[in-house]
Amino acid sequence: MDILTTNNLSVSYGNRKVLKDLSMNIMENKITAIIGPSGCGKSTLLTTLNLMIEENGGNFTGKIFFKDKDILSYEKDEIRRRIGMVFQKPTPFPFSIYKNLTYAPKYYGIKDRLKLNSIVEDTLRKVGLFDEINHDINTKATKLSGGQQQRLCIGRALTVEPEVLLLDEPCSQLDFKNTANIEDMLLKLSRDYTIVIVTHNLSQAKRISDYTAFILDGELIEYGETEEIFTNPKDNRTKEYIEGIYG
């Protein structure tokens, strides 16, 4: 089952075309990795999928379908709620952990203290922070370590009960141990969520993703099961990239 489909998607900033005629299906409850050299348009693809692209001054042509309906037929806010996003740099709000996690639920009308508490607890468990922070949910989020901050941000994205989670190189600023932590967590989350992760770390893509897309200069070169892409790439450019030619 595919949950997100793009059809001849092209994205440009002013006159500069960043993505060209991209068509792909993203499968529900799977992890899809998007790989490619820096500047190839990977991140742009993510920001297009949750319609943030317009906020950043870009625009797209072609079609995107979310659950078989044109993405533009939804309210923009609804799309962003149902398709969550986490950035490369951890962006905790300079409030307490508790406030970080109740910020969005309160917006969506949950006022009940007990309900909010259970959201906070569930979320912290999901991202594996519950034991680490010793139940001290009033600690300032900015005081956490980088890896913890990033997990909190992923948790924050989960508090609005999205169906898809877009992650833009979430581990690029983290060390090996924190990266492993987050990878574990993503594998667990993929039972309930569809995950799209942009990464420049090929072994990461190989370890956690079910599908992999290779993008080069704004074009989708190859897309298929991760296993297939890494062991038996059809396109020569994919092969070269995987072997480390583009770096």
Among 20, 80, 207, 239, binds another protein (CB under 8 A): 80
Q: Which of 185, 166, 182 is CA-nearest to residue 174?
A: 182
Which of the residues 171 through 200 are near another protein (CB under 8 A)? none
Question: Residue 89, interface with another protein (CB under 8 A)?
Answer: yes
Q: How far is CA 179 from CA 19, 201, 209, in A?
A: 29, 11, 14
**The Cα angle at residue 174 between residues 132 and 32, in degrees rounded to 5:** 100
Q: Give how many residues touch another protein by CB under 8 A.
A: 28
Question: Residue 67, interface with another protein (CB under 8 A)?
Answer: no
Task: Pull the structure tokens for residue 117.
Answer: 């508490």
Question: Residue 239, interface with another protein (CB under 8 A)?
Answer: no
| String marking each residue 116-155 x if it binds another protein according to CB under 8 A | --------------------------x----------x--
CB 113 within 8 Å of CB 104: no
Among 42, 81, 126, 151, binds another protein (CB under 8 A): 81
CB 171 within 8 Å of CB 182: yes
Among 157, 189, 221, 242, binds another protein (CB under 8 A): 157
Among 27, 116, 160, 202, binds another protein (CB under 8 A): 160
Q: Look up residue 39 and give its amino acid.
A: G
Question: Residue 98, interface with another protein (CB under 8 A)?
Answer: no
Minimum CB distance to another protein, residue 182 (Å): 17
Among 6, 50, 181, 226, binds another protein (CB under 8 A): 50
Distance, CA of 15 to CA of 8 (rounded, Å): 18
Site residues for another protein per CB under 8 A: 50, 52, 55, 76-82, 84-85, 87, 89, 91, 93-95, 103-104, 106-107, 142, 153, 156-157, 159-160
